[in-house]
Amino acid sequence: MTYLTITPQDTLDILATNVVSREQEVHSYQINIDNYQVLLMSLPQDECPAHLTQYLGTPTSQLPGDMSFEDVRLISDYQYRNLISGLIRTEFIEQNKAQRILNALKSQIPVDQLETLVAGAKVKMDQANANVTRT
């Protein structure tokens, strides 16, 4: 496509800016994955006790009123563990998608210009963010 106002250098600058943003996205997914994995270590590692497995899909507000607080806590912990495990899978999937887009963006910038253009885009983005926080 031909543009009247956008130069090839503009395209490279836009690609570099998108690389910076996409790297931050990939990194954010990794921070979430790492955080969830640490959180999982504080939750039960074993299988849910057999007498409680029937309640794993039951909201805690709907558990039997005569259930012990210890069993309610256990069910809540196992439910939370399952939720966090699912979130880790989702973060991995989304990170993989973002990484593919990042790779596609990088592939459109000449290798000998990649580091310089991305570094310049990062500086511009940091300056823009600093200006926004000052106002």
User: Which pTM does this prediction carry?
Assistant: 0.85
Q: Which of 17-21, 25-29, 129-133 has the lowest mean pLDDT?
A: 129-133
Domain count along the chain: 1
Tell me whether residue 66 is in a domain.
yes
Residue 6 lies in a domain: no
Domain that holds residue 34: 13-130
Confidence tier at 19 by pLDDT (50, 70, 90): very high
The per-residue pLDDT for 85 is 97
CB atoms within 10 A of CB 106: 17
Render pLDDT for 30-73 as a digit per residue (tens, 0 to 9): 999 999 999 999 999 999 999 999 999 999 999 999 999 999 99
The verdict on residue 25 lying in a domain is: yes
- Say if CB 16 and CB 108 are below 8 A apart: no
In a domain, 93, yes or no: yes
Q: Is there a domain that residue 7 lies in?
A: no
Distance, CA of 57 to CA of 122 (rounded, Å): 46
Please indicate, yes or no, if residue 70 is contained in any of the structural domains: yes
